[in-house]
Amino acid sequence: MLDDFCQTGKVTIPARPSNAKPWENHADALLEYLVELMSNKHYSNQVVSSKLRSRVFHGTVSKFIHEMCHFESFQNQRTWTERNKIKQLAEWSIMRKADRTAREKLLNSISDKHKKDGFDALFFENIFENNGYKDDAAWEKLRADWQKALDHHVRSIVEQHVHDRKGNFEIALQKIMDQVTQYTRMHEIHDQQAAQAWDMMDGQWTETEFERKLKIVKLQDRYPEMQEIVNRMGRIANSNGHDRMALTTGHAMKMEHSSGSDIEGITVGNDLNALLPIELAEYVDDELDNLFLYKYQTRRLQTFNYKSISSKPVRKLGFTHASRKGPMIVCIDTSASMYGMPQRITTSLLSLLKQTAETLRRDCYLIDFSVSVRAIDLVDFNVSSGLGKQKADAPFIGGGTSAHKLLECMFDLLDGKHQTNYINADVLWITDFLIPEPTDYEVMKLRDYRKTGTKFYGLRILSADDKQKNTEWQSYFDRIYNIRYREVKRY
């Protein structure tokens, strides 16, 4: 619901599970508050008008949701002993059920805790009288009512906690949204770049940290190769899919004749309004009129060519095949040679890729490699929500570089062994390509994928002082871009 709201500004309440029973439809205090919050036109206008404010709203509300869910989970853990007693009640022997003192002690204990939650101890005392304790259905009813009262007790605690927290939360939310808006307007920062910088932060607004992250994002202006790479990534999938209605626009060309100064040259055709005088002479000559008719039929008459051709805009409806940008696999080198400026360039490019993948709703998988590999979904990477996602900067492992495990993981994704939505994805390597050459088998696999249309791109990040050509991998890629950087020397 939060994702949909930040993308469209509209509140979409998730549907209840199809197998949910009518009596399981309890009020959800957190959901009700979120609907109330998102129904506020002030917030809906802000998330639609600004990518940055949408990110701030998403990250801040995500933390609030996580806090409330954690609180509810903690309250449920506190009731573990009581829930266990409910289960043990089914194991009571007939002798223990017949013990009036044991029954009264149990009912009084439950009533002391859950009388306000709707538990009626007197009702069960009356049922169990006159050998009613022998009825198993009565004990099942007791267990069900006890469980229901316990759940109501937890919900009431959570509801009160949400009510107590929402006031301060909205004040903090409005304050942080005002701060980031004022800062970006004062410094004339582009909204897209500001949103990327915010994603690299931990969700806490500080000007110094924001400026530091913004410097990383602005590397995209220094190295335009990043934007070109992002634009190329992802093949066009489903080119033979269902037809869709489309509007075709263009220009209709119409010849309009003007004065003699409008003549551009001589051409051939059968336009009688543009005939050369010599052709008119053939027309009036009785002996050459047959020749004139022949040239007219074959469009070989000499005519003036005019430059007064006006463009008339036209539109027409037609059908075109549905298509979309395909998935992407991004492989980043996290070996020791990529530390420093290459790591910052990688972080900037990943931020741009993540934003593009989210905007276009495209799947993007990240594999970082050095001596080992780790594969994660890029959408879950570099997020400031604090919900157990990956850290803000590009991962750094250190050590040497071996592409064998990387290629194995990449081949599995392209084959759909683990993630079927990455079959036929396009691949990008971000590295200095100081990598041992692949084996013959790996080369064969790379060539097979390229034959099926998979594109392999590379971004080589090298120091300006590095004179090594390093062209061993060139033949395995469709294109390798180069970024050369110069480290600032400090004395």
Stretch 21-34: mean pLDDT, rounded? 76
Query: What is the percent of the chain where pLDDT is above 90?
Result: 26
Cβ neighbours for 448, distance < 8 A, ≥ 6 positions apart: none
Q: How far apart are CA 376 and CA 368, in angstroms?
A: 9
Secondary structure string (H, E, C) spanning 192-249? HHHHHHHHHCCCCCCHHHHHHHHHHHCHHHHCCHHHHHHHHCCCEECCCCCEEEEEEE
Stretch 462-484: mean pLDDT, rounded? 82
pLDDT of residue 325: 67
pLDDT of residue 169: 93
pLDDT of residue 398: 55
Q: How far is CA 4 from CA 11, 36, 54, 57, in A?
A: 7, 15, 11, 12
Tell the residue number behind the tokens 């509140």, with chain if given: 11
Is there a contact between 330 and 294 (Cβ–Cβ < 8 Å)?
no
pLDDT tens-digit readout, 312-331: 444 455 554 445 567 888 98
Task: Using CB atoms within 10 Å of the CB of residue 122, give its burial: 0 to 12 exposed, 13 to 18 middle, 19+ buried.
Answer: exposed
Stretch 264-281: mean pLDDT, rounded? 82
Average pLDDT, the chain: 80
The better pLDDT of the pair 311, 426 is held by 426
pLDDT tens-digit readout, 451-463: 888 889 999 988 8
Stretch 373-396: mean pLDDT, rounded? 51
Residue 488 has pLDDT above 70, yes or no: no
CB atoms within 10 A of CB 361: 10
Q: How far is CA 482 from CA 41, 220, 224, 231, 485, in A?
A: 47, 14, 11, 16, 10
pLDDT tens-digit readout, 332-356: 888 887 888 888 999 899 888 888 8
Tell the residue number behind the tokens 């157990």, with chain if given: 388
10 phi and psi angles, rounded to 5 deg = -115, 145
The better pLDDT of the pair 264, 410 is held by 410
pLDDT tens-digit readout, 142-179: 999 999 999 999 999 999 999 999 999 999 999 998 88
pLDDT tens-digit readout, 215-252: 999 999 889 899 888 888 866 544 444 444 444 445 44
Query: What is the percent of the chain where pLDDT is above 70?
Result: 79
Q: How far apart are CA 52 and CA 176, in angstroms?
A: 12
Q: How far apart are CA 227 and CA 221, in angstroms?
A: 9
pLDDT of residue 322: 46
Categorize the per-residue pLDDT at 470 as very low, low, confident or very high, splitting at 50, 70 and 90: low
- Looking at 81-95, 142-156, 381-395, which range is the least confident one? 381-395
CB atoms within 10 A of CB 163: 11
